[in-house]
A and B are shown apart, each in its own frame.
Chain A
Amino acid sequence: MKILVCITHVPDTTSKISFVDQDTVFDKTGVQFIIGPYDDYALARAVELKEQLGGSITALNVGLAETEPTIRKALAIGADEAIRINAEPKDAFFVAHQISQVVKGGDYNLILMGRESIDFNGGQVHGMVGELLGIPSVSPVMYLDIAGNVAKLSREIEGGKELLEVALPIVAGCQEPIAEWKIPNMRGIMSARSKPLKVLDPFEDEHKTVVENFLMPAAKSGIKMIDADNLGELVDLLKNEAKVF
């Protein structure tokens, strides 16, 4: 089993989001970057599948040199090798195109990633990679098992889930509870330093969207506290201010 896990390098969920240069650039000052939480689930499941079935795990990131600590963390968690495409990820199409080129050169059976990144929340890359390679894509995947050449998985649908079966290779966008996040141990951290991390030039520079500038949401006007003995006031506000009934 050859597994490719695509990871994003994103601000920690508790980060303060702000922008500089006339709101055109994300302000990285003081921001802690992590493996995207959904990608972390995908990686954890890949490690379990490798323990079960053998094979290898390649972690892939599209990003500049600043993402290498995040990639090393993926190696510490259990990836055997890593590839970094040395480019700023311009949009989902750009990233999907890079990933599909790596897959074409690498003969992977299973391409895993998070259902979406937590910075741009597009949820597009898994579907694009599937279509670029002409193979099935499934998302959001909550359960994944492999028997021979067949994947059994469950996908969350609105109000429930469905159980699916599909022949490999496939692309899966993962979410909880596919696996528990894995915390790297000391041995993993030590061995990650010597595992191969290959840096490749981007394949082509094509993208289809351009961010012109960023905006912040309007601040909340402040909370109105209501006494628990005066629920009529809340009902009144819901009716006349929020106008929900």
Chain B
Amino acid sequence: MKVLVFTESDEGKIKKSSLEAVSYAAEIAQRTVAMVFGVLESSELNKIGAAGAKKVLHITDSDFEPSNIMAVSTAIAQVFEAEDIELMVMAKSSLADSVSARVSIKMDASLVSNVTELPDMANGFTVNRSIYTGKAFAKTKLTSDKKILTIRKNTVPIGENGSDPETVVFQPNSMGSDAAVKVLSQEKTSGDILLPEADIVVSGGRGLKGPENWGMIEDLAAVLSAATGCSKPVSDMDWRPHHEHVGQTGIKVSPSLYIAVGISGAIQHLAGVNSSKFIVVINKDPEAPFFKAADYGIVGDAFEVLPQLTKAIQAAKE
């Protein structure tokens, strides 16, 4: 089986979730081809090789700007044909949702999102996917000849032992309609660890009393190399931007560690974090429902616990 991996990058670095997708593909097939977009150093392309891809198709034409859903979908469909691809794997992301859907129609492919395990290929092609916002799984069979999977973070470890890939510049033919959506401007924080990419997330809720107290969350996040998140009320009150809102109607995360500070644990918030491997809850209310979903709990005042915890972790890491 020939497998294609669509990769995304951020600030010149291939996303960790995309490297995971490459390693997922390499577990299934001998021959894995990865697609990358935009300006990237060869050391980044070699990371894709290390993760398991044999060949990298590099799309450098600026008409194929990586956030252009239509253009990226056009390019992928052309690679499907050129490389005779049977399966495409990509990391779940807001871009991947749209792109995978459009490509599935172009290629008449079966598409399954939020895949959490390697496929079972003993009798057809079946995967496990997360549904009901992490509250259940569905074993789902893909019945078309061509197949597309978007995988959830922390599904497989990222490989590091592959060799440098064969790298080829790929020039897709653009379609007139690809330029229909014009990007007027982009606002993006730089230098921060992206929330959906983070292996550790530190989130704050109303218990922090105001945006001026977020320094404590940021300090703890910094010693853990974690991303910062927040609950819905916090983003509704504009203490923090919406792209940090974790929960049912915000970002769903599946990190190795989720630390919730001053968040009571409404069911809508839990829906966004219940796929985390370990959950720490710090709350001064011992009755906070979040404790029922946690692995480790501390009943205490965030204003006292957080600075001490930050210091203790820093000391342990030294």
Residues of A within 8 A of B (CB): 11, 13-14, 17, 19, 37-38, 92-93, 96, 115-116, 118-128, 130-132, 134, 136-140, 142, 152, 155-167, 173, 175-177, 207-217, 220-221, 223-228, 231-232, 234-235, 237-239, 241-242, 244-245
Contact = CB atoms under 8 A, between A and B. Distances in A.
Nearest to A167: B180
A127 B69 contact: yes
A38 to B, nearest CB: 7
B177 A134 contact: yes
Contacts of B299: 225, 228
Contact of A209 (B111, B243, B308, B316): B111
Given A156-B242, A244-B257, A214 B138 contact: yes
B110 A242 contact: no
A11 to B, nearest CB: 8
A209 B102 contact: no
Nearest to A166: B181
B39 interface: no
Interface stretch (B28-36, B79-87, B90-98, B203-211): B90-98
B121 interface: no
Contacts of A119: 131-132
The 3 A-B residue pairs whose C-beta atoms are closest, nearest first, are A127-B101, A228-B300, A160-B188
Contacts of B13: none
B63 to A, nearest CB: 16
Interface in B192-217: 192, 194-197, 199-200
B224 A17 contact: no
15 contacts: A92-B111, A122-B113, A124-B104, A127-B102, A137-B102, A138-B98, A157-B94, A159-B194, A162-B186, A217-B134, A223-B291, A226-B297, A226-B298, A231-B298, A244-B257
B108 to A, nearest CB: 8
Contacts of B69: 127, 136-138
Contacts of A138: 69, 98, 181
B189 A160 contact: yes
Contact of B224 (A92, A216, A245): A245
Given A158-B196, A225-B299, A244-B256, 9 more contacts: A19-B136, A93-B104, A121-B132, A128-B104, A132-B105, A155-B94, A220-B294, A226-B296, A245-B316
Nearest to A16: B135
B305 A228 contact: yes
Interface residues of B, number: 95
A223 B186 contact: no
Q: Mostly helix, strand, loop or mixed at chain B's interface?
A: mixed
B114 interface: yes
Interface string B105-149: 110011111100000000000101011111111111111100000
B57 interface: no
Interface of B: 10, 67, 69-70, 73, 93-95, 97-102, 104-106, 109-114, 126, 128, 130-144, 177, 180-189, 192, 194-197, 199-200, 224, 236, 241-243, 248-249, 252, 256-257, 267-268, 271, 274, 277-278, 280-281, 291-301, 304-305, 308-309, 312-313, 316-317
A116 B189 CA distance: 25
Nearest to A18: B136
A140 B180 CA distance: 17
Contact of B183 (A137, A158, A162, A175): A162
Given A160-B186, A162-B186, A166-B181, A209 B297 contact: no
B280 to A, nearest CB: 7
A161 B181 CA distance: 15
Nearest to A133: B105
Contacts of B139: 211-215
A123 to B, nearest CB: 4
Contacts of A127: 69, 97-102
A120 B308 contact: no
Contacts of B185: 162-163
Given A93-B104, A121-B113, A225 B316 contact: no
Contacts of A224: 295-297
B39 to A, nearest CB: 18
B101 A126 contact: yes
Which of A164, A232, A244 gathers the greatest number of chain B CB atoms within 10 Å? A244
A103 to B, nearest CB: 14
B202 to A, nearest CB: 12
Nearest to A129: B101
